[in-house]
Amino acid sequence: MYLNAIEKGRAPSQEETYLNEIPAIRQLSTLTFSKPVTFFIGENGSGKSTLLEAIAAAFGFNPEGGSRNFRFSTADTHSGLYRLFSLHKGPYRPRDGFFLRAESFYNTATEVDRLSRLLPDDSPDPKYFELYGGKSLHKQSHGESFLSLVLHRFFGHGIYLLDEPEAALSPSRQLTLLTQIHCLVKEDSQFLIATHSPILMAYPESELLLLDEKGIHSVSYRETEHYQITKSFLDNPGRMLRILLEEEKE
């Protein structure tokens, strides 16, 4: 484990209002990580991405995504939460790391292109793209580029923070991602993942941390609303649709 826990200090007065609007963040004091894969789950607006972004920034990653060597910035929109975090790290330093976030992945791909052109003649270095599937991420579909990054750029023995990685992936590609996560875990990697995907959440060597009005607490897979709603729908989609559409009529 490269990151064992985070501890949140007191927010300065100018930031307290914003942070207090998110119950899970407001109530956060110390959060420990006991599994190689930790999922942050919860409703939209529950603070999953805010928390993951702050951990990434506190760990030294670019808030818009990338490795710790990426320093691009297109919009300074991240919160100051990272400044409140003290990180309790393990005895070993990760050899690799990456912060992948769906909403700014385009900007990350653009930075990869820029870095590939740091040759004297400003031409792209084809060897650089070997880390990303052999060609520019912009020349791959959204889903392909996500998987190329994980399959070719994630080397293992690292810490990886993924913000809604399922956004661009079909169910079958989510299973591919799940398999690769498992391979990387066996190579001494740690993952922190914010997600809505019940497929990814099923990973056995993981802890599910639910962010809600009560704070942040551990839940079992079958306790999650994601699992329960998905299962109910797939078990009887006709019944679920009738209920939903009748409610809409009312």
CATH number at residue 158: 3.40.50.300
Residue 163 forms part of a structural domain? yes
Residue 139 located in a structural domain: yes
Average pLDDT over residues 194-212: 96
pLDDT of 166 over the 80 cut: yes
Which band of pLDDT confidence, cut at 50, 70 and 90, is reported for residue 149? confident
Question: What are the pLDDT digits (tens) for 47-98?
Answer: 999 999 999 999 999 887 777 776 555 555 456 788 899 999 999 999 999 9
Instruction: Look at residues 37, 78, 35 and name the one whose alpha carbon lies nearest to residue 58.
Output: 78
Render pLDDT for 4-36 as a digit per residue (tens, 0 to 9): 999 998 766 555 566 778 899 989 999 999 999
Q: Is residue 197 part of a domain?
A: yes
Instruction: State the chain's mean pLDDT as an integer.
Output: 85
Note the helical H segments in the chain: 13-20, 23-26, 48-59, 105-116, 142-148, 171-186, 198-201, 225-235, 237-249
For residue 246, being part of any structural domain is answered with no
Q: What is the reported pLDDT for 35? A: 96
Q: Is residue 129 part of a domain?
A: yes
Distance, in Å, from the CA atom of 129 to the CA atom of 108, rounded to the nearest integer, reads: 14
Number of domains in the chain: 1
Average pLDDT of the segment spanning 201-221: 96
What residues make up the domain containing 176?
Answer: 3-219
In this structure, is residue 247 part of a structural domain? Answer: no
